[in-house]
Amino acid sequence: MFLQKLEMTGFKSFVDRTEIDFLPPSAASKGITAVVGPNGSGKSNVADAIRWVLGEQSTKLLRGKKAEDVIFSGSEKKPRANFAEVTISLNNEDGQLPMDYSEVSISRRIYRDGDSEYLINKNKVRLTDIQLLLAQAQFGARTYSVIGQGMVDNILIASPQERKEFFDEAAGVKQYQLKRHQSLIKIKTARENLSQAEMLLTEIAPRLRSLARQAKRLETREGLEEELHALKHQYYGKLWERLRLLIDDRRASLDKLESAWKDKETMREAAQRDLSALEKEETEAPTDRFTELQDRYDGLVQERAELESRRLKIRSDLEVTRRVRQETSGSLPLSKIIDEVNEIGTGQDTAVRRLTSASDLKEAQATIPDFEKVGTKAKGLATRLERPASEPPDHESDPKLTAEMEGLRRQVADKDREITEIQSAIQEYNRSERQKKSKFFDLQRELQQKIGVVHDLERRLNEERVEMARLDTRREALETEMVAELGENADRIKTGFTADDEGDPESYQPRIQKLKYQLELIGGIDPEVMKEYEETRERHDFLESQTNDLRKAIADLRAVIAELDLTIKAVSEASFRRLNKSFDRYFKTLFGGGHAELIQLKSGGTADAEPDAEGGGDTDGPTDQPDDFVSRDVVTGIDIKATPPGKKISNITMLSGGERALTSIALICAIMTTNPSPFVVLDEVDAALDESNAERFAAILQELAERTQFIIITHNRYTMNRSNVLYGVTMNDAGTSQILSVNLEEAGKMKGKSRKVRSEEMAAA
């Protein structure tokens, strides 16, 4: 695996999209790429970009104060950028990265609002995913893969614990430490969950026991209720059947009485009809007959009176005629004639008024004599005026009036005979009425007897109905009680009941009362208790299962951690021995002798430290790992002992600045040899070296380049001389960095070719 390409956009001084292509490794070397340029041109930003894209979180190491400082802030001629993005492309044909891709791109992007993104092959991922991926490939942001300015000297002046983190990276145990750290976090989370689950179990257990007791009581209560229900079923069933039979018997008796009552009532109604008919005959028809006879009698009497009145009037007329004759026997004076005419007119007016005021025929007929009298007077006056005759003798009468008078006499005699006949009919009617009254009384007595019988039947019928109503009331009360005691099952008794035995229903009462008393002792239990008990028991079982799973998970994680500890220890010790040997060798190479070694500092009572969140190693402070992961043989730090040739130094702080730089470079070279990284970025690590040491360092780099790809930011001509590709960084007028590249191998070939041409020309000359 090697670094193929670096792309930067908006990162620090590289505002425009900038690409740096790296040469693929050859058979002899993976290549050295040198980045050169004047101070302030932005060449160190290349190292910062690689460190940043690999997940560096410390703004201090990136030479800033806040995360947004990596975004181009603008210049007089160039506006500021809104985001910064860096992408590195890694060739993974050898499969060193655990991904099924021959080329892997890792990108990081940040915006001015603070949002940031991590991408692998343009897919968003977490920072942890990138850290674990890089740790498995033996490089990362905090490892020796990127060594910036001042880090060389910092290795020596760092604390033993900080050196241990650096050497852990070199030993290749970072991936195991990350896994161990994740396992510790999982154990901590599992123990917190276990503690919460145990607390919940402790809280639920008393409630579960109480619910279990109530559930048991409920089961006992259910058994008693089933028995009580069965007894109630028999008890109320027999009561219902007994009452039903009694009601049926009473209804049959009632129906019989109603039938007898209806028969007697029919007979009473027949007698009543006979009596009513007799009453009707007596009050209607007989009364009409009596009235008819009476009216006829009254009419005959009135007619006789009228005839008698007419007869008397005729007699009076005869007397008047006689007198007129006597008066008209001589000549009448004119005054007499006028008086009689006036008298006739007055009589006529009177008769006319009576006739006009008559309201019926009878009154109208009563005016006839008045008209006759007026007519008689008028005729007499006319006769006397036409033929005055002498007065007849007294014994002579008017024949016409005499004949009329005789007819009236005969009519009066006929009326008297008819009146006598009517009187006989009235007497006969009275005798008939007396006979009818005797029959009426007989019928009335018979009706009274029948009414008495009907009333007796009605009394008995009412008594039966009252008793029937009592039974219906008892049935309704029993039905209400059955519904209250049995609920919906009461309908089963009414629709169909089968008795278990022939016993009296009252024999069930003692057992029923005893069961009720036992249920009262148990007390009322909410039916929801069983549901709550089941839910609580399920929850308890679930929590118990979860606690068992958590304990098993913790045990499994502890086994994993123990295995990782063994792996870390074995890998670290083997790597430490190789590192110590290489460190001494490169120290002697750079110093021309002397001695250097690394010393492990162990503490018998200090807890084994865990890596931090960014993938760091152990620290000397307290840890949050469980106490059962305490080790009695823990490496807490690394001390460095370096003795240049001809000197006796007990502490590396006594070394000069150049000696510390050479010692640090020797240590870095040893690390690269022991656990080579796919690529290493060195930012002016050779700045403090003199020419001889710079020559040695360049030679070592060329040796290490056989296994590691180097990107070196330098001013040293020896380092540039050993480089395969040279990139120059310049700062333009807009205040942004630009890249210029030179392939030194091709340039050397071109230079050698031109020298050969010149030699041939000189030889020819």
String of DSSP letters for 160-213 = HHHHHHHHHHHHT-HHHHHHHHHHHHHHHHHHHHHHHHHHHHHHHHHHHHHHHH
Whether residue 623 lies inside any domain: the answer is yes
Determine phi and psi for 81, rounding to 5 degrees: -90, 155
Asked if the structure places residue 450 within a domain, the reply is no
CB atoms within 10 A of CB 524: 8
With CA atoms as reference, report the closest residue to 108 among 99, 96, 97, 116: 116
DSSP strand pairing (32-36 vs 709-713)? parallel
Domain closes at, from 372, 389, 423: 423
Query: Domain end: 368, 401, 423, which one?
Result: 423
H helix intervals, 609-723: 657-674, 691-704, 717-722
Distance CA 551, CA 541 (A): 15
Q: What band does 613 get if pLDDT is binned at 50, 70 and 90?
A: very low
**Average pLDDT in the chain:** 76
Q: How many CB atoms lie within 10 A of CB 370?
A: 17
Choose one of 372, 400, 423: the last residue of a domain: 423
Of residues 608 and 464, more confidently modeled: 464
The 3-class SS string of 515-563 reads HHHHHHHHCCCCCHHHHHHHHHHHHHHHHHHHHHHHHHHHHHHHHHHHH
Per residue in 317-374, pLDDT (tens digit) is 776 666 666 555 555 566 777 777 778 878 777 877 777 776 666 676 677 777 778 7
pLDDT at 10: 92
Structure tokens at 174: 């970072």
Is residue 543 included in any domain, yes or no? no
Please write the tens of the pLDDT for every residue from 8-17: 999 998 998 9
Q: In the chain, what is the greatest distance between 2 CA atoms, to the nearest angstrom? A: 235
Is 480 inside a domain boundary?
no
Q: Judge whether 230 and 480 are in contact, CB under 8 Å.
A: no
Which residue did the predictor score with more confidence, 502 or 685? 685
In a domain, 288, yes or no: no
Q: Can you give the residue range of the structural domain that contains 302?
A: 298-423
Q: Which of 104-118, 183-197, 382-396, 530-544 has the lowest mean pLDDT?
A: 382-396
If one counts every other C-beta atom within 10 angstroms of the C-beta of residue 177, the result is 25
CA distances (Å), 571 to each of 254, 425, 603, in order?
A: 112, 162, 20
**Residue 344 covered by a domain:** yes
Domain presence at residue 199: no
Q: Is the residue at 518 inside a domain?
A: no
* Residue 706 token pair: 């056989």
Residue 624's pLDDT is 45
**Is the pLDDT at 623 greater than 50, yes or no?**
no
Structure tokens at 17: 């999209």
pLDDT class of 609 with cuts at 50, 70, 90: very low
How many domains does the structure of the chain reveal? 2
The CATH code of the domain that includes 56 is 3.40.50.300
Main-chain dihedrals φ then ψ at residue 311, nearest 5 degrees: -65, -40
Q: How many Cβ atoms sit within 10 Å of the Cβ of residue 43? A: 26
In this prediction, residues 431-460 reach a mean pLDDT of: 70
